[in-house]
Amino acid sequence: MRHPSVSLKPARFLCAFLLLAWLALLTGCWLDGPQSTFDVKGPVARAQLDVFMVTVYVTAFIFVVVGSVLAFATLRFKARSTADEQAEPPPQSHGNFLAEISLVSASVLCLVIIAFPTLKNIWFTYDVPEEQRTSAYEITATGYQWWFRFEYPGEQINGVGPLVTGNELVIPASRPVRINLRTVDVIHSFWVPKLAGKVDMIPNRANHLWLRADEPGYYYGQCAEFCGDSHAIMRFRVIALPAQEFAAWLANQEQPARAVTPAVMAAAGDRPHAVFASFKTAGGGAGDALSGSPEFDTNPFAAWKEKQVADPALENPVLIAEGRRLFQQKTCFVCHTIRGHEGIGVTGPDLTHVGARTTIAAGTLENTPPRMYDWIANPNYFKPGNKMYNGGYTDPATGQQLINLNDAEVNALVAYLQSLK
Ligand code: CUA
């Protein structure tokens, strides 16, 4: 019988590659991206990373041991001459009590080493620890195709109900936050890689998770369960604020939408429309790059803070008033609510303070006037299958156009929505 000898060259390359990859992992290279599970910023994500690393170490140990034995056997017993190759194989045997019991024990030991931290952290990550429970802040997150609704049950607005926002979840930093997970349609999954994740939002099931941001910051979230056409761009953001700033944010959010008062209109005088003629970009309502401005991409937290403040000098009250009129006339209010202005809709995100968000289209686009123009002008381009287009702008069954917006109308809507700080 011939025993073909195995060339070791590819194996050596593979080993070198794995070693380099492993070193890169250890040094944290490439692992600090916005959705990295290695760059943890809270105790829940840290506990999950710990379990992962224990598993990696144990399995790496097994890999090295088994690999060494395999390499040794391959080298030591390889055929070295034609006579070797043509020799009969040595007598075959199986069943060695000592070898078998050692292998079984070693395997059990490895599993036990992994099981201890796993079980401990399953309990830890399941709910806010007993001693912190009284200080936990409660929020309800609901998944929609394809965006997130956030409700603050502790913040009741007179005659309205709890405070509701969309796609940007603002939380207090350094404080446990307990999040109820719901869905109105299919299964989604709530995931903020640097803080905690992931737990599914399942129909007719009251799931929850908890997280805590060690420090104030801007964190990226993502739906982590396939939920239809635009699942991959069903994103959200988590903004963690120090206690005082969080309280101030809540107070502002509870206010009804900012209004363009007659006084503001008068003060603005006859500011020429030309300055605000068009938010339309060269892309003609369908820009290609999904990335944001360099400032936003490098420091989104600073960009978020900037977004909270209105600059009346840059606003055109006439255009804003026209936008508000169009919001009604074009029936936007059927799906969206702008509390204090118009709106009864609950099928789309609440837009009461949409101008103060850094993103639109569920974290897909930076919230700038040109981007908002692109989004309103051509929502199906950025989020295929979305309900604003299919069912709002066009009838999905017949393809018949229901709402038609010209450039001037989109501009006015953008001016209005951007004014809602
Ligand atoms: Cu929602 Cu994927």
Find, among 272, 285, 277, 321, the residue nearest to 419 by Cα: 321
Which of 342 and 45 is assigned the larger pLDDT? Answer: 45
| pLDDT mean across residues, the chain | 88
**361-to-201, 230, 263, 384, 392 alpha-carbon distances in Å:** 20, 11, 33, 11, 15
* Residues pairing with 201 in the sheet: 188
pLDDT of residue 228: 94
SS3 content of the chain, % helix, strand, coil (to 5): 45, 20, 40
Mean pLDDT (whole number) for 233-238:
95
Query: Tens digits of per-residue pLDDT, 346-358?
Result: 999 999 999 999 9
Ligand 1 geometric centre to CA of 166 (Å):
15
Ligand 1 geometric centre to CA of 242 (Å):
30
Which of 283 and 25 is assigned the larger pLDDT? Answer: 25
Residue 208 confidence class, pLDDT cut points 50, 70, 90: very high
Write out the CATH class of domain 9-126. mainly alpha
Ligand 1 geometric centre to CA of 143 (Å):
7
Q: Is the pLDDT of residue 245 over 50?
A: yes
pLDDT of residue 158: 86
Q: Domain residues of the chain, as ranges?
A: 9-126, 133-249, 262-418
CATH number of the 133-249 domain: 2.60.40.420
Ligand 1 geometric centre to CA of 120 (Å):
29
pLDDT of residue 41: 94
For ligand 1, whether the C-beta of 362 sits within 6 Å is no
Handedness of CA 269, 275, 276, 278 (dihedral sign): positive
Span of 53-57, 110-114, 259-263, 301-305 with lowest mean pLDDT: 259-263
For ligand 1, whether the C-beta of 370 sits within 6 Å is no
Q: Is the pLDDT of residue 27 over 70?
A: no
* Residues pairing with 179 in the sheet: 139, 209
Q: Is the pLDDT of residue 248 over 70?
A: yes
Query: Tens digits of per-residue pLDDT, 272-312?
Result: 443 445 677 655 444 555 667 778 888 999 999 999 998 87
Which of 216 and 269 is assigned the larger pLDDT? Answer: 216
Q: Which atom of ligand 1 is nearest to the CA of 225?
A: 2
pLDDT of residue 359: 94
pLDDT of residue 199: 96
3-state secondary structure of 243: helix
Query: Tens digits of per-residue pLDDT, 37-89?
Result: 999 999 999 999 999 999 999 999 999 999 999 999 999 988 888 888 888 88
Mean pLDDT (whole number) for 134-156:
96
Ligand 1 geometric centre to CA of 115 (Å):
31
For ligand 1, whether the C-beta of 223 sits within 6 Å is yes
Q: Which amino acid is at 401?
A: Q
Say which residues have a Cβ less than 8 Å from residue 328's Cβ, sequence separation at least 6.
Answer: 342
Mean pLDDT (whole number) for 319-342:
91
For ligand 1, whether the C-beta of 181 sits within 6 Å is no
Mean pLDDT (whole number) for 146-168:
94
pLDDT of residue 273: 44
**140-to-80, 148, 151, 154, 311 alpha-carbon distances in Å:** 69, 10, 5, 10, 32
Ligand 1 geometric centre to CA of 230 (Å):
8
CATH number of the 262-418 domain: 1.10.760.10
For ligand 1, whether the C-beta of 148 sits within 6 Å is no
| Model pTM score | 0.85
Q: Is the pLDDT of residue 6 over 70?
A: no
Report the distance separating Cα 284 and Cα 286, nearest Å: 6
Q: Is the pLDDT of residue 246 over 90?
A: yes
Q: Is the pLDDT of residue 413 over 70?
A: yes
Q: Is the peptide bond before 198 cis (omega within 30 degrees of 0)?
A: yes
With a pLDDT cut of 90, the percent of the chain lying above it is 61
Are 412 and 322 in contact by the 8 Å Cβ rule? The answer is yes
Highest average pLDDT, of 16-30, 80-94, 127-141, 395-409, comes from: 127-141
Token match 């030591």: residue? Answer: 76
